Structure 1
């Protein structure tokens, strides 16, 4: 399992992923799920992968081969991000279908999902989620992020924080907290954590992080987040039966309950 996410903001894009593909008592495998493609001063792409590793690696190999062979359709020739998503969806579907019957009968899933984002020339930066069947979706003004893999544990923080006006720095920190929350709840998601922050219209990757479990920044971020969560929890409004006044009221309620119980016992 894995967890990848991407956000589209007014100032650019943020991508983040873990690096764990398998977790067990005696086997833990790690592969980078973040891949970049850059045609200088013309276009940039980030590709995040989740699902069957063999399928995602086959898709990645096809993409690279099409670029090297300068075929008619590749990431370096498509006119827009939606065309790139359609191209990736077709390759994903073709690679999936090659082994689907054999592996599905054996109880294995060949499905792989992708998030593709970037910018082509002066077109707006965009991100797309490509499904195993080849179809895809993008973001909107109301839905600023996309996720693949083990997404449920890290979604609440994104729902509360991410908006169009969120700064790239805040979005990157939110992505790290989202992944950390997922790692705490699911052992199949784990470090190193990769983060790419893309500034709109730069057509270059200038901000990249790869954080291991013992990275000082990651440790400090997790500690600060935990401390503030506890503090916020302690500041939540009290129930009316808590505190001195609440204890007195609770005593009155308990006395009334005992009295009612006694009456029921006598009637019995």
Structure 2
């Protein structure tokens, strides 16, 4: 599996991907999920993939050379929408070629793609492309996309990221999101690829591959965990059975009418008060010696 996240901000774009793939508990591999299509001064496009690795790699190789009926390629598309459409066409062509043979072996055609960047003359744009080749675009109401093991790293992005977030803060947030995922899911792993793109730069200027020795990521991991624990410990414990208005942080008032759903025991089951206490093996042995 994998985890990739990308954010579209007023200041530019942030992309982050892990590199773990696994076909079983004892078969783990490292394959980089981020690919960059760059013509400096004219366009920068980034593709990140999750799902079946062979499908992802086939799509990457095909889209690099694909020409549409009207002669466009990912290198000549006039805007990011057309580039995303060409990538979607590549997904459909790989599906037409491989899906049936994969299905005969019980393998689902499974791929998810985040694709974003900037072509000279238009703004930064970000898309999520599905297995059918269709896609959606990020807007201000939804400034980010995730693919793969998205659930663990989603809460921090939801709480922090807005279009006005700076690139550095967004990169920091993405790394915290990834750390949360790494901590909770063994199918996501180091090294990571982080690319931060500034609007109108039309070149890759800020990119790093992060492994376990990276000082900044180690600081994020240790500090975030410590600060979370500190915040948790600073929250008051809930107050139970309080008289109304007599205390703060009341979770349950004395006159609250809430009750659990109780299941009535069968008639043959004795009430708990009349049951004989359980004996340990040592007690039974001791009783037998008397």
TM-score range normalised by the length of the shorter chain:
0.7 to 0.9
User: 1:175-220 CA distances to partner (integer Å, 9 max, x unpaired)?
Assistant: 1111111111111111101110000011111111111123222111
Q: What is the deviation of 1:23? A: 6.0
Aligned-partner SS, 1:190: coil
For residues 97 and 66 of structure 1, the distance between their equivalents in structure 2, rounded to whole angstroms, comes to 15
1:98 corresponds in structure 2 to 97
2:152 corresponds in structure 1 to 153
1:8 corresponds in structure 2 to 8
Q: What is the deviation of 1:104? A: 1.7
2:65 corresponds in structure 1 to 65
1:29 corresponds in structure 2 to 29
1:55 corresponds in structure 2 to 55
2:135 corresponds in structure 1 to 136
For residues 44 and 103 of structure 2, the distance between their equivalents in structure 1, rounded to whole angstroms, comes to 35
Aligned-partner SS, 2:47: strand
User: 1:63-89 CA distances to partner (integer Å, 9 max, x unpaired)?
Assistant: 22348xxx9221111111111111100
Aligned-partner SS, 1:79: coil
Contact 2:63-2:86 at 8 Å conserved across structures: no
Contact 1:23-1:188 at 8 Å conserved across structures: no
For residues 199 and 157 of structure 2, the distance between their equivalents in structure 1, rounded to whole angstroms, comes to 21
For residues 83 and 62 of structure 1, the distance between their equivalents in structure 2, rounded to whole angstroms, comes to 16
Contact 1:23-1:187 at 8 Å conserved across structures: no
Aligned-partner SS, 1:143: coil
1:214 corresponds in structure 2 to 213
Q: What is the deviation of 1:102? A: 2.2
Q: Tell me the number of residue pairs that the alignment of Structure 1 and Structure 2 aligns.
A: 244
For residues 215 and 21 of structure 1, the distance between their equivalents in structure 2, rounded to whole angstroms, comes to 21
Aligned-partner SS, 2:236: coil
Dislocated runs of 4+, deviation >4 Å: none
Q: Which runs of 5+ in 1 are unaligned?
A: 247-252, 254-264
User: 1:22-77 CA distances to partner (integer Å, 9 max, x unpaired)?
Assistant: 1644321111111111112111101111111111111111122348xxx9221111
For residues 5 and 58 of structure 1, the distance between their equivalents in structure 2, rounded to whole angstroms, comes to 21
Contact 2:66-2:90 at 8 Å conserved across structures: no
2:201 corresponds in structure 1 to 202
User: 1:83-133 CA distances to partner (integer Å, 9 max, x unpaired)?
Assistant: 111110011011022121221232212221111110011301011001010
1:230 corresponds in structure 2 to 229
Q: Which has the higher helix share?
A: 1
Contact 1:144-1:164 at 8 Å conserved across structures: yes
Contact 1:50-1:113 at 8 Å conserved across structures: yes
1:124 corresponds in structure 2 to 123
User: 1:132-156 CA distances to partner (integer Å, 9 max, x unpaired)?
Assistant: 1010001111110011111111111
Structure number with larger C-alpha Rg: 2
For residues 38 and 216 of structure 1, the distance between their equivalents in structure 2, rounded to whole angstroms, comes to 28
For residues 4 and 89 of structure 1, the distance between their equivalents in structure 2, rounded to whole angstroms, comes to 19
For residues 185 and 58 of structure 2, the distance between their equivalents in structure 1, rounded to whole angstroms, comes to 27
Contact 1:14-1:171 at 8 Å conserved across structures: yes
Contact 1:96-1:111 at 8 Å conserved across structures: no
For residues 64 and 147 of structure 2, the distance between their equivalents in structure 1, rounded to whole angstroms, comes to 22
Contact 2:50-2:111 at 8 Å conserved across structures: yes
For residues 46 and 52 of structure 1, the distance between their equivalents in structure 2, rounded to whole angstroms, comes to 19
